[in-house]
Amino acid sequence: MGCGTSKMKVKDQVVKICTVSEIKVQPSTFVVENEHKFQEVYKLGKKLGSGAFGDVKLCFHLTTGTERAVKIFRKDLAIDEDKQKLLMNELDILKTLDHPNIIRVYEFFEDSMRFYIVMENCKGGELFGEILKRQNFNELQAAQIMCQLFSAVSYLHEHCIAHRDIKPENILLEEQGDISNIKLIDFGASERFTKGVPIEGTLGTAYYISPEVLSGTYNEKCDLWSCGVILYILLCGRPPFDGKTDEEIIENVKRGKFTFKGEIWRTVSKAAKDMISALLCPASTRLSAAQALEHIWMTRNVSVASPHPDLMQSALTNLQRFEASNKLKDAIRAFITTQCLSLKDTKSLRDIFIAMDTNHDGKLSRDELMEQFVKIMGAEAADEEVTRIMAEVDTDNSGFIDYFEFLKATMDQKVLVSSENMKHAFDAFDEDGNQSISAQELKRMLEGKATSENKVWSTIIDEVDKNGDGGIDYNEFQEIIVSHL
């Protein structure tokens, strides 16, 4: 793909839709190229950072006022095909990810000069900056950070994605000085892998790269080496493998020799040192992310704050009330969940999700739901209720409630029906702006690259088209949501 007039190509999963019941709305459904000009949808704010290909800036959605960040890639700085491949790869992977500790991407734009990727705005800056400010962290603080990082990495590896460039510069804090909510970013170097098949290609950053990556053949556990380096730095303020140049650092990485010498290590627990040693070791014996979450140092030091009982009760009640039977209503909720909610909107729900996710794998199991519902009803009633909830909320039939599914089912009803969010959603579905959503517009919005019968979409229209004009106007659109509250 050359610069200037080239178009951005992002992979889409192809499915065949024959009936309304087969429509599956995922977090990636609405992460598409916006055909409008970026300036018609967002107002640019101050610069947040810069990189090799362009800047990261603050931006504000013109309809909702929502604050976001946008990565702006200048094509004249990214004319190399390999560099553009990294950009395509980042977007292709990011749009599929659904985890509270992984940055969310909303949409992307392209014009003759630039690519724009719109994402969550994390105001706290890089973990790297926090390390420079604090110098080092105590074990409780380090474990809080590492639990979130291991959870994100475990999620990635379960979905056969290796990040390959985990470092403090690629970890953001949602709020200034708050290490309780971090986000893993920058998936340009990420790679989809097949279990048991070696990954190839030397990518990464000198301080954090694993020895086997330098040798050219490795697996996803390269990410765990990087995590081990980060943990070492968190506890003592300096890297385990140092040097005056990248070449010198890399030679020290290849040797793999590090120490726990120095005054600061005298107060660090044996369990913490064992954790580091179990990460900075040969890949064949290195912990997986899931195993790291179960390490004794983690279990001793990680505690999740209990949400306010009223907030937990509200979330559980919303789970009980949620119904996914109306496909258009479900799609509207999904759009608002993925495209309209700010970090502020989701904060309390995110905290509840994390509290319920007792094994930190980034999803809720049936057992984890049972643990909450047996507290408010008998075991037999809870078993029946959880079975029903799983059937309604687990819309992708994964056997778990994913983060997106949880937010969609538990979001505050006032947020759902706010005039800003309803207008944003209606305008997105009403592609031609004629104030009526047609069957073809529904098809383009929800079908993706799939093939489907036209009757699937006309059936949805017929269910809600009260005035019989063959489309869905704004009042009918609102009624879909409001009538089911």
Residues tagged in the binding site annotation for ATP: 71
| Amino acid (one-letter) located at 50 | S
Direct distance between the N- and C-terminal alpha carbons of the chain, in angstroms, rounded to an integer: 48
d(CA 201, CA 217): 7
Q: Smallest Cα–Cα separation from 254: which of 238, 241, 272?
A: 241
Q: 190 with 204: CB under 8 angstroms? A: no
Measured in residues, the chain has a length of: 485
Q: 60 with 162: CB under 8 angstroms? A: no
Contacts of 215 (CB under 8 A, 6+ apart): none
Q: What is residue 306's DSSP assignment?
A: P
Beta bridge partners of residue 117, listed in sequence order: 71, 108
d(CA 151, CA 101): 8
Dihedral class, residue 241 (left if φ above 0, else alpha if ψ from -120 to 50, else beta) = beta
3-state secondary structure of 222: helix
Helix (H) / strand (E) element for 88: namely helix 81-94
Residues annotated in a binding site: 71
Q: 258 with 280: CB under 8 angstroms? A: yes
- Determine whether 394 is an active site residue: no
Structure token digits, residue 141: 């603080």
| DSSP conformation letters of 121-168 | --TT-BHHHHHHHHS---HHHHHHHHHHHHHHHHHHHHTTEE-----G
Structure token digits, residue 67: 């604050």
Q: 94 with 187: CB under 8 angstroms? A: yes
Pick the catalytic residue from 55, 82, 165, 367.
165
What residues are labeled active site? 165
